[in-house]
Amino acid sequence: MHITRTFVLATALAVAACGGGETPPPSQGAANAPAPIEAAPAPASEEGITARAMLDAALAEARKWQPDAELVTVTTSLAEGPRHGFWFYDVQSRAQGTCTRVRALANGGVTNVGAGEQCVLMKPVSLEFVDSPAAWEAARAAGFDPGDSAQFGLRFQRDEALQAPRECWVLWSDADGDGASGAIRGWCVDPATGQFVARLSGKGRTEPLQ
């Protein structure tokens, strides 16, 4: 696959959450868009798993960390389709004001890979989200071009193309990046209905918890 980590890291924001050791995004600077994850583990199987396949196991692991763990993002990177070898589940504890990251692999492995550090609390996402294949199909039908690989991010999103902050399955690839401005114009799919919502402007960020 020809998508490069250099391009992704140079043009996207750090994932807004949770225990992965990312640098916070600049205020209004480069790409106000969903960002890739840190160095990804190799897929554990050729077939891969969907975002929901290991959700229950990931939440169980998160609640071992903190009983009040809430899901704030689901992400993967460099995916060649709606199934992939790994997914990350970022969670927060309101009581502790901390976040961590749980990684689930296609071979069934589930690990808390975050540091449980202090973080800015986010609006949690519903656990009833449509699975990654539904988000993929809706974005593709709207014109999304995954190229050699795609990025996925389920999160509470704020963007100029949205009338109000809302939950989005956001998909994007190299084709959605503007090298001049640094913006990445992802594709927002409603995680409740699986319907395409909008092509994002790249001028926004995840919405913090009020």
pLDDT digits (tens, 9 = 90+) for 114-146: 999 999 999 999 999 999 999 999 999 999 999
Q: pLDDT tens, 183-192?
A: 889 999 999 9
pLDDT of residue 209: 58
Pair 79, 151: CB distance under 8 Å: yes
- Beta-sheet pairing, 166-172 with 70-79: unpaired
Taking the C-alpha atoms of residue 32 and residue 34, their distance in angstroms, rounded to an integer, is 7
What whole-number percentage of the chain has pLDDT above 70?
Answer: 75
**pLDDT tens, residue by residue, 10-39:** 333 333 344 443 323 322 333 334 444 444
Tell me the pLDDT of the chain averaged across its residues: 82
Residue from 93, 153, 146, 140 nearest 119 by CA: 93
> How does pLDDT run across 38-70, given as a tens digit for each residue?
445 544 446 899 999 999 999 999 999 999 999
Looking at mean pLDDT, say which of 33-42, 75-84, 157-166, 179-188 comes out highest.
75-84
Q: What share of the chain is helix, strand, coil (3-state, %, to 5)?
A: 15, 30, 55
Torsion on CA atoms 30, 87, 154, 184, rounded to nearest 10: 30
Confidence of residue 203 (pLDDT cuts 50, 70, 90): confident
Give the mean model confidence (pLDDT) for residues 100-114.
97
Query: Residue 210's pLDDT band (boundaries 50, 70, 90)?
Result: low
